[in-house]
Amino acid sequence: MPKGDRNTMRALQGLENSSPSVRLQAALAVGTNPDSRSIDKLIERCAIEPEFHVREMLTWALTRHASAITVPKLIDELRSERAQARSQALHTLSKIADRQAWPAITRALLTDPDDEVARSAWRAAVVLVPEGEAAKLAEVLATQLGRGERETQLSLSRALIALGEVIMPTLRSAMTAPDARVRQHAIATERLSRDPDTGFEFAIEEAKRVVALDSTGHEGG
């Protein structure tokens, strides 16, 4: 067996090691010397790897291979029943940034019940969205306003803001939604888009006050 093949085999075996540092070094080795025969194993490991830093290195290793090979395989992974497989495939697609993946970023993924999958889908969509499609994407993303805890809400706000001015009509509509959480999130996102230096915590607390005052005004009326 040629030395390069032996090194690749050793690195791929290292991805199974019980030590996170060994797995990290193995992923680094695979990415340093890309071999298309490694791609399936890297994607398979992404779906089950428990350590964040190792997953990041696995993603980096995948970006080192030809996107013509990796992107179709990652798109296949988006149909996995395992949430981490979907989430990590989306994350990797956002890093590769090849727009042939755009049609695979479906409404189902953007509204996935798993927060990590949805957040990865939002980030990938913002990177991959073709010109002229941003307003439609904003409408789908706006259906998720008010969802989840602060971290999830901040991810959605960042994704919307990254789309630019096209979000404003959708955001303004959401500011009058029946659900108070949706209104708060929309108001906070609009505030952040105008003043990026405003912290999300401050923006959301301010939005809560606005919504509360608005509700009091309606009750008084």
pLDDT tens-digit readout, 121-140: 999 999 999 999 999 999 99
Residues 6+ apart with CB under 8 A from 197: none
Is the Cβ–Cβ distance between 141 and 160 less than 8 Å? yes
Is the Cβ–Cβ distance between 163 and 138 less than 8 Å? yes
Residue 164 lies in a domain: yes
Residue 21 lies in a domain: no
Domains identified in the chain, total number = 1
Q: Over the chain, what is the mean pLDDT?
A: 92
Residue 138 lies in a domain: yes
User: What pLDDT does residue 213 have?
Assistant: 76
Residues 6+ apart with CB under 8 A from 138: 160, 163, 166, 167, 170, 171
Residue 121 lies in a domain: no
Which range marks the domain in which residue 201 is found?
Answer: 131-221
> What is the per-residue pLDDT across 24-79, written as a single tens digit (0 to 9) for each?
999 999 999 999 999 999 999 999 999 999 999 999 999 999 999 999 999 999 99
